[in-house]
Amino acid sequence: MDKVWLKQYPEGIPAEVDFTAYSSLKEILASSCARFADLPAYGNMGVSITYRELDQLSRDFGAYLQKVAGLKKGDRLAIMLPNLLQYPVALFGAQRAGVVVVNTNPLYTARELEHQLKDSGATAIVVLENFAHTLQEVLPRTPVKTVITTQIGDMFPAFKRMLTNLVVKHVKKMVPEWHMAQTVSFNDALAAGRVHALDDVTIHLDDLAFLQYTGGTTGVAKGAMLTQANMVANLQQVAPWIARDLLDGEETALIPLPLYHVFALTVNLVFMKIGAHIVLVTNPRDFPAFIHLLKKTPITAMIGVNTLYNALLNAPGFSELNLHALKICAAGGMAVQRAVAERWKAATGVPLIEGYGLTETSPIAISNPLNIEEWSGNIGLPIPSTEAAILDDSGAVLPIGQVGEIAIRGPQVMKGYWNRPEETAKVFTADGWFRTGDMGIMDAQGHFKITDRKKDMIIVSGFKVFPNEVEDVVMLHPGVMEVAAIGVPDEKSGEAVKIVVVKKDAALTERELLEHCRQHLTNYKVPRIVEFRTEPLPKTNIGKILRRELRTPQPKEAVAA
């Protein structure tokens, strides 16, 4: 196809990259640990570890997985952690052992966690003690045999570790009581692995690196099979894109988005590859602490979603910050609003670089180049070694300027969905295009713009919420006759979940219904607005609820949660 966008590439960015230059993420890690050994690799809450320490700690953890936990190449390790220093140690330890990582949201409900552990076949898990009570509830019904628990301060120096863990557990009461037999602490696992050799597992590009879970039109979370080739390719594709501004071994990169989210995961790997000091933010909602971190840390790059940038702009003390060292601010996960982009540029002098991708594309597929000066409303140009097109319903490529479904081809596109060949077949065309479910348009210069979503997906602060999953949970309540979930605009989160409900039990209240939802759904999936209707919901001839007709509210018992 005619890659018209190549003419818009800034100088120095190639049309194609060598995505076979490395055999695995393990090889990239080894290169960085050797090149940048004495430089800080990861920081969190004022504590940093060097690349040399990362090399040793990940070696120890990998040896524990192999020699003590008995995991073999291809086995699954779930990581259920917020952004802590334990995360990269576990992540890279697993990669070095040839173990597939299953990133798991720490805020999952028992129902969500059980599905992911069973579906992935995870036999081991690293979990923060704050969330161990959820794991305890489902553990007997999962294949997990090895449970490694950790506390927030476990990677800190002795006094700070003891003080942090004491305050979190006994002062702030942030650790609900839990009881599981035969667990091992993270630090004990490292100590146990230290006395064993780490077997050098041969890893190939077609081996799985991650099972990265994402929702689906059926409401069932599916594991996108991201191979070593997918991940290595995306790192190779992004490297020249950022090379104009970011230098090897000289950057301090801020990651306030959770590493279990594919955007933060991959960007973190990109920063690791160039030897950056990666500063992990555990709780980005603690804005006084966030502002304090920005005040004392001269960051040169950061990532975020539109809602985070907006919240920072409105946070007390942000206007007093000196962000003179900042070079790049990347935005993904959800659309960037013009007002936020313009305010951010005015406040920092740095434009928000909006990009686009999905879990299934590892994720970066399209991005604005770093030389843009202002917000354009576009998601950008296909990155090197990537093809993008606009397809009609039959899968044919549409002419420039026509609206259709955005489709992606490239080495970063997933292998498929784990154990779901039918779902995989639905998203790929016969000639290899991955159908994103987003409607868009391409102009004559190759810039892409999203116009709408073909799917009914709801995006809450950059996280996907699939209506069917919410509806399935609501329908579990005996007082509900029928329900539909839709997205509505929200100033803080971009979109919020709204449910339109027909009651079976006239006494059902919104409070009761929302409490039911909180028991089964992660917080960002819980409806914020409930609308009760007395008439049946609008449907097609075959009985499918017409969600689009519900986006115009009726003046009947609409209640803000």
Q: How many CB atoms are located within 10 Å of the residue 285 CB?
A: 10
Whether residue 333 contacts residue 462, with contact meaning beta carbons closer than 8 Å, is answered with yes
Residues belonging to the chain = 561
**pLDDT for 48 beyond 70:** yes
3-class secondary structure for 115-144?
Answer: HHHHHHCCCEEEEEHHHHHHHHHHHHHCCC
In the chain, the amino acid numbered 502 is V
Count Cα neighbours of 296 within 13 Å in the Cβ-side half-sphere.
8
Strands 222-227 and 208-214: antiparallel
Query: Phi first, then psi: what are they for 501, rounded to 5°?
Result: -125, 135
Query: Phi first, then psi: what are they for 267, rounded to 5°?
Result: -65, -35
Q: What is the mean pLDDT of residues 16-32?
A: 97
Cis peptide bond N-terminal to 527, omega within 30: no
Share of the chain above pLDDT 90, in %: 83
Question: What is the distance of C-alpha 339 from the center of its chain?
Answer: 25
Whether residue 477 contacts residue 513, with contact meaning beta carbons closer than 8 Å, is answered with yes
| Residue 269 vs residues 42, 259, 278: alpha-carbon distances, Å | 11, 10, 10
pTM: 0.87
Whether residue 283 contacts residue 312, with contact meaning beta carbons closer than 8 Å, is answered with no
Rounded to 5°, angle at Cα 299 from 294 and 304: 75
User: DSSP state, 548?
Assistant: G
| Residue 341 vs residues 336, 462, 512: alpha-carbon distances, Å | 7, 16, 39
- Lowest-confidence range among 203-217, 309-323, 492-506? 203-217
CA distance 8 to 10: 6
CA distance 287 to 280: 14
CA distance 276 to 251: 5
What b/e string do you get for 170-199 counting C-beta neighbours within 10 Å, with b at 16 or more? Answer: eeeeebeebeeeebbebeebbebbeeeebe
Token look-up 């009985």 returns 543
Share of the chain above pLDDT 70, in %: 96
Q: At what angle do helices 186-194 and 86-96 cross, to 10 degrees?
A: 40
pLDDT digits (tens, 9 = 90+) for 408-466: 999 999 999 999 999 999 999 999 999 999 989 999 999 999 887 777 788 899 888 88
Query: What is the pLDDT at residue 315?
Result: 93
Strands 124-128 and 76-80: parallel
**pLDDT for 101 beyond 90:** yes
Query: What is the pLDDT at residue 319?
Result: 94
Q: How many CB atoms are located within 10 Å of the residue 140 CB?
A: 8
pLDDT digits (tens, 9 = 90+) for 164-197: 999 999 999 999 999 999 999 999 999 999 999 9
Q: How confident is the model at residue 224 (pLDDT cuts 50, 70, 90)?
A: very high
* Residue 439: burial class (beta carbons within 10 Å; 0-12, 13-18, 19+): middle
Instruction: Find the distance separating the first CA and the last CA of the chain, reported in whole Å.
Output: 49
Query: What is the pLDDT at residue 544?
Result: 60
- Give the strand order in the sheet containing 47-50: 47-50, 40-44, 277-280, 252-255, 301-304, 328-331, 352-357, 364-367, 381-382
Rounded to 5°, angle at Cα 365 from 364 and 371: 85
* Residue 13: burial class (beta carbons within 10 Å; 0-12, 13-18, 19+): buried
**pLDDT for 540 beyond 70:** no
Radius of gyration of the chain (CA): 23
| Residue 385 vs residues 27, 205, 306, 498: alpha-carbon distances, Å | 21, 17, 27, 39
Q: How confident is the model at residue 554 (pLDDT cuts 50, 70, 90)?
A: low
Q: Is 505 helix (H, G, I), strand (E, B) or coil?
A: coil
Q: Is 236 helix (H, G, I), strand (E, B) or coil?
A: helix
Q: What is the mean pLDDT of residues 143-158?
A: 98
Question: What is the distance of C-alpha 110 from the center of its chain?
Answer: 20
In the chain, the amino acid numbered 61 is F
Whether residue 222 contacts residue 423, with contact meaning beta carbons closer than 8 Å, is answered with yes
pLDDT digits (tens, 9 = 90+) for 102-125: 999 999 999 999 999 999 999 999
Whether residue 203 contacts residue 228, with contact meaning beta carbons closer than 8 Å, is answered with yes
Of the candidates 271, 353, 281, 331, which has an alpha carbon nearest to the alpha carbon of residue 462? 331
Task: Please give the domain boundaries of the chain with CATH numbers for all domains.
Answer: 49-203 (3.40.50.980), 386-453 (2.30.38.10), 458-560 (3.30.300.30)
Question: What is the distance of C-alpha 77 from the center of its chain?
Answer: 17
CA distance 273 to 92: 13
Query: What is the pLDDT at residue 218?
Result: 45
pLDDT digits (tens, 9 = 90+) for 301-317: 999 988 799 889 989 99
| Residue 304 vs residues 158, 176, 418: alpha-carbon distances, Å | 32, 30, 29
Q: How confident is the model at residue 552 (pLDDT cuts 50, 70, 90)?
A: low
Count Cα neighbours of 255 within 13 Å in the Cβ-side half-sphere.
32
Q: What is the mean pLDDT of residues 479-507?
A: 92
CA distance 385 to 19: 9
